[in-house]
Amino acid sequence: MEQPADEPQSTIDETEEWNRSLAHLIALTPSDVLARATTVGVAARFATATMREVAREVSAYADEGGQATTTSSLSSTLLEIAEDIAESPTPLDERTATTIGQRLHDLGFAETHRAISLDDLSRVATVALRQLWREFHRLAITRGWDSDLLGEVGETLLLVRQHVDRLITEGQQSAGKPPRDPHVVQDRLILALVREGNDNPEQWLDLAARCDAAHWELPDQLVVIRLHHDAATVRPLVPDTVLVDQISAPTRLIVPAPLSEATTDRLTAGLTKPRLAISTPVAPSDCASGDRWARRALELIDAGVLNPAPATWCDDHTALLWLHAEPEIRRRLVQEFLGPLLNEGPTTRISLAETMLAWLTTRDSAPVIAERLDVHAQTVRYRWRRLTELFGDQLRDPEFIGMVTLLLRATVPLWRSGDDADLEAFRNNR
């Protein structure tokens, strides 16, 4: 079939090859390693370590003291790509590969305005992929991989490297050539809005230029919405002032604040089983934070931690979002405050936790709690006696009650779903 004039066959082939090579690299990574990588903070640590190496080898990314500059486009791009990979589905989907490719393209575009040379960016790619290679090499030693598997990883990394160079180069070459597709212009603006470091003057000027290109007036504050419906379904339901990301998954909307009730109503009425996760209003320089909150809220809805509703406002759940922003902190607090429950079997642990949460949040009588939990009142009384044996006078301590109530709200849905991470951590620390 003949290809459109503005989409040559070579470009299509290169895109497909990029998607395949990146997906293959993800497939070669052990599943438990990928599971740990989804922990918030792992991606940031990798990005920070890479920036330190870059600062040692590429002077354009070091300050006067030789330390890595953390406000550059490179710093935010490394973090965003690390998070994309950490949160990607397995096997890697085409949308995530496209998002990462667009970030690399935009890096080349943005750094052109900072007079960063293509040679410097190529050296950066070498450093970043060398960091990845070290991680794989360490895995090979600890897991006893044979040389064939490690060789396959090396070949795939080289192929990925070729496409990284291509995407960055294309970004640099397009710096003076605005794209014709208005949706592409909008996507580039969205990626610029949600990157870190937009309080940096250079990035702020770049953001302003992208707003002009998209004919979008930068508001004083904005709101980020995450939802599972695709961009083509959402776009007809929102006004032109709403930016609709056609790349990200889940779909991301950026809306000038305040978010109107009319826009929310159109979305909830026009979508099948709507689940909108809506950030608190933030300044444009904090859009990345707003996006993280909205994405985290949607993940908690999917996990059953937050009750599903047509629209969920992050402002109403700040404590839970804080607890789940760093899972390791939540796990440590669970061990400290809910340790007695972790000594119980799975069924008993969950039933005791549910009863404890129901009583702490309502202070209702045993018959009322029994009706809520669909058990006999005597069962509730037995469970409460057991909880009194486990926790004793702590159940009269207001500070303990406050912390445990929050922890139970964050944790009971995970235990119900079969998540054993808390139990494993408890056993490992005994």
Total domains in the fold of the chain = 3
Q: What is the mean pLDDT of residues 207-211?
A: 84
Same domain, residue pair 340 and 412: yes
User: Could you give the C-alpha distances from 399 to 325, 395, 402, in angstroms and in order?
Assistant: 22, 10, 5
**DSSP annotation string for 314-332:** GGGGHHHHHHHHSHHHHHH
Burial (Cβ within 10 Å: 0-12, 13-18, ≥19) of residue 233: middle
Same domain, residue pair 40 and 138: yes
The last residue of a domain, from among 259, 292, 324: 324
Same domain, residue pair 284 and 346: no
Q: What is the pLDDT of residues 320-358, one digit of tens each?
A: 888 777 777 888 888 899 999 998 988 999 999 999 999
The confidence score (pLDDT) of residue 341 equals: 93
pLDDT score of 28 more than 60: yes
The last residue of a domain, from among 177, 211, 227: 177
* Rounded Cα–Cα distance for residues 361 and 376 (Å): 19
Q: What is the pLDDT of residues 378-405, one digit of tens each?
A: 999 999 999 999 999 998 898 899 899 9
Same domain, residue pair 236 and 300: yes
Domain presence at residue 167: yes
Q: What is the mean pLDDT of residues 267-272?
A: 93
Pairing outcome for strands 243-244 and 251-256: antiparallel
The partner residues of 222 in beta bridges, in order of sequence, read 256, 282
Same domain, residue pair 100 and 60: yes
Same domain, residue pair 319 and 382: no
- CATH classification of the domain holding 173: 1.10.490
Same domain, residue pair 242 and 360: no
pTM: 0.60
| Local confidence band at 4 (pLDDT 50, 70, 90 cut-offs) | very low
Burial (Cβ within 10 Å: 0-12, 13-18, ≥19) of residue 271: middle
The confidence score (pLDDT) of residue 113 equals: 66
Q: State the virtual CA torsion across 104, 106, 108, 110 in degrees, nearest 10.
A: -140
Structure tokens at 353: 């936790």
The last residue of a domain, from among 121, 146, 177: 177
Domain presence at residue 112: yes
Q: What is the mean pLDDT of residues 127-154?
A: 82
pLDDT score of 212 more than 70: yes
pLDDT score of 137 more than 60: yes
Same domain, residue pair 345 and 420: yes
Cα 406 to the chain's mean position, in Å?
Answer: 23
The partner residues of 312 in beta bridges, in order of sequence, read 277
Q: Which is it for the CA torsion 420, 317, 200, 203, positive or negative?
A: positive
Q: What is the mean pLDDT of residues 239-264?
A: 89
pLDDT score of 146 more than 90: no
- Which residue type, as a one-letter code, is found at position 400? F
* Rounded Cα–Cα distance for residues 219 and 287 (Å): 11
| Local confidence band at 197 (pLDDT 50, 70, 90 cut-offs) | low
Find out whether the peptide bond into 179 is cis, omega within 30 degrees of 0.
no
Same domain, residue pair 164 and 42: yes
pLDDT score of 92 more than 80: no
pLDDT score of 2 more than 60: no
Domain presence at residue 186: no
258, 278 contact by CB (below 8 A): no
* Rounded Cα–Cα distance for residues 109 and 105 (Å): 6
The confidence score (pLDDT) of residue 7 equals: 45
The partner residues of 251 in beta bridges, in order of sequence, read 227
* Rounded Cα–Cα distance for residues 113 and 415 (Å): 50
How many CB atoms neighbour CB 328 within 10 A? Answer: 13
Domain presence at residue 354: yes
**Runs of H (alpha helix) within 38-93:** 42-57, 73-86
| Local confidence band at 232 (pLDDT 50, 70, 90 cut-offs) | confident
Higher pLDDT pick, 430 / 412: 412
Beta strands in 139-208 (DSSP E): none
Looking at every residue in the chain, the average pLDDT score rounds to 82
Q: What is the mean pLDDT of residues 251-274?
A: 92
Q: Residue 226 has what DSSP assignment?
A: E
* Residue range(s) defining the domain that contains residue 27: 9-177
Buried b (16+ CB within 10 A) or exposed e, 89-111: eeebeebbbbbbbbbbbbbbbbb
pLDDT score of 8 more than 60: no
Percent of all residues in the chain with a pLDDT value above 70, rounded to a whole number: 86
